[in-house]
Amino acid sequence: MLYHPDKHRDPELKTQAEQLFNLVHEAYEVLSDPQARAIYDIYGKRGLDVDGWEVVERKRTPAEIREEYERLQAEREERRLQQRTNPKGTISVGIDATDLFDRYDEDYEDVAGGGVPHVEINRMHISQSIEAPLTTKDTAILSGSLSTHNGNGGGTINLALRRVTSAKGWGEIELGAGDTHGPLFGMKIFRNLTSRSFVTAQCGLQFSSRGVRPGVTTVLARHLDKNTMGYLQWRWGIQSSMNTSIVRDTKSSHFTFAVQLGIPHTFMMMSYQYKFQDDDQTKIKGSVKSGFFGTVVEYGAERKISRHSVLGATVSVGVPQGVSLKIKLNRASQTYFFPIHLTDELLPSAVFYATVGPLVFYLAIQQLIIRPYVRAQKEQDLEKQRESSASNIARKKQEAESAVLLMQESVRRIIEAEESRMGLIILNAWYGKFVTDNSRRHERAKVIDVTVPLQCLVKDSKLILTEATKSGLPGFYDPCVGEEKSLKVLYQFRGVMHQVLSGDAEPLRIPKQCKRARTAVCLG
């Protein structure tokens, strides 16, 4: 009714009304026709474009259309299944830097260049695995690894075939070969016993020049509560042991307690990790592990440095291991690990530099490289998004401005009716990006005035907005594509002024009694 051309006498307003009325009429025609609505619900607006993309026969019933859609979805899922390989890799580079702290000057008196500490790479390990889906239930997994330590090394290659037997479990057969250990044959099964517990069993035969070495590993796990898991593990064969552990994982912390009895390793371990609720997903952690081999204390932190990358550092102090610094970078499904052995003794200087050094280095890299790069990348992505949607935004802006002009008369009548009963009056309303943080004062606010469109939506002294982006409301458009937006409203109800701030996709209902203010608020 608002956009009907017959309601507007001014030729310019009449032309604008015709354009908006045609959009409303098109939406009404689609939503009132069960057949067209079913196509729109499934395929979107492009499904209605018969000149461009004919997706399905128009004579089909909604049920047939949905059946066709599910068939196409299954075909797309099958294609994605064939393309998915899920590659995973690990690169580990061990560094011996003990010469920095354990060196003796008398050993270098007769050696040229003996005053320079010697740091070397003493071990490396590279592993990679890929998955090849054969069917919806069968998957082939190919993995390989290469290792070297002090000039000696070897490699292995493994092929596993996994089949999902039911919704409760799967089984796997593994074949492997290596230049140091010989052929390997193994089997593994997984089974959900109940909704709160599961079991895994694994057995293997390792063939070598010394004969056949069998091995069996069984793990029983159970949910103790919503956030806590309990594990019992029994291993027989190579390094036989029994292990029990409790793991509690919540939104803000991760705790692990484990006890193992075995040959040659018997120990007790406890670790705790605290998760900060920030955008960088910062975590700090500490652990203590004590057994027949000695005692090790570890502490460290990790932080998300980009969308797909997490950087962490851990200091390990133990007897008789000494002091080590472990740096780990996770990039998507790839892991890069750098254990640096600093000293064989417990030296306070080594502990100090292992703790402070990575922190200072990270802060410098964060300020000089990471933050400028992330900021430039974000601005570049936003600029590309603005360029690709520039014509569409211009059209939406024109439609919004036309809608506001056409709303003027209706808004005047609504305000008169609300004033007569001391109802809801929208004094001012802005939509877009607001800059309230002092650290972001260099940024420019990008907002549009939506006072008239909001007042037009008032009915019976109430304004109700559903849980959806507000840029699609009549008289609205997106003033800052790709950026976080809010709606700020200053309104009067029963003669009292109120202010409310709502996120772009948050539902809004005013008046809100809890937001009542005794005095007017001036917004800049």
Report the first-to-last Cα separation within the chain, whole angstroms: 35
Residue 168 belongs to some domain of the structure:
yes
Residue 515 Cα to chain centre, angstroms = 34
Q: Amino acid identity of 15?
A: T
- At 39 the pLDDT is 73
Whether residue 196 sits in one domain with residue 240: yes
Q: Amino acid identity of 366?
A: Q
Rounded Cα gap, residues 236 and 321, in angstroms = 27
Alpha-carbon torsion 474, 478, 484, 489, what sign?
A: negative
**286-289 — which CB contacts under 8 Å span 24+ positions?**
287/256, 289/318
The residues pairing with 459 across neighbouring beta strands, listed in sequence order, are: 462
Residue 362 belongs to some domain of the structure:
no
Supply 177's token pair: 């070969």
pLDDT in tens, 381-407: 878 877 777 778 888 888 888 888 888
Number of domains in the chain: 3
Whether residue 328 sits in one domain with residue 249: yes
- At 126 the pLDDT is 96
Whether residue 158 sits in one domain with residue 58: no
Whether residue 12 sits in one domain with residue 153: no
pTM of the model: 0.62
**481: pLDDT confidence band, cut at 50, 70 and 90?**
confident
Angle (nearest 5°) at CA 506 between 501 and 508: 65
- At 444 the pLDDT is 64
Whether residue 144 sits in one domain with residue 96: yes
- At 230 the pLDDT is 96
Counting residues of the chain whose pLDDT is more than 90, the rounded percentage is: 43
Any idea what the CATH number is for the domain that residue 186 is in?
2.40.160
pLDDT in tens, 295-322: 999 999 999 887 788 999 999 999 888 9
Angle (nearest 5°) at CA 395 between 393 and 400: 90
Whether residue 413 sits in one domain with residue 336: no
Whether residue 470 sits in one domain with residue 338: no
The residues pairing with 242 across neighbouring beta strands, listed in sequence order, are: 234, 261
Q: Over 70: is that where the pLDDT of 66 sits?
A: no
- At 209 the pLDDT is 79
165: containing domain: 86-101+118-346
Q: If you count DSSP H runs as helices and E runs as strands, how many of each does the chain have, helices first?
A: 8, 23
Report the b/e string of 416-425 with b at 16+ CB within 10 A.
Answer: eebeeeebbb
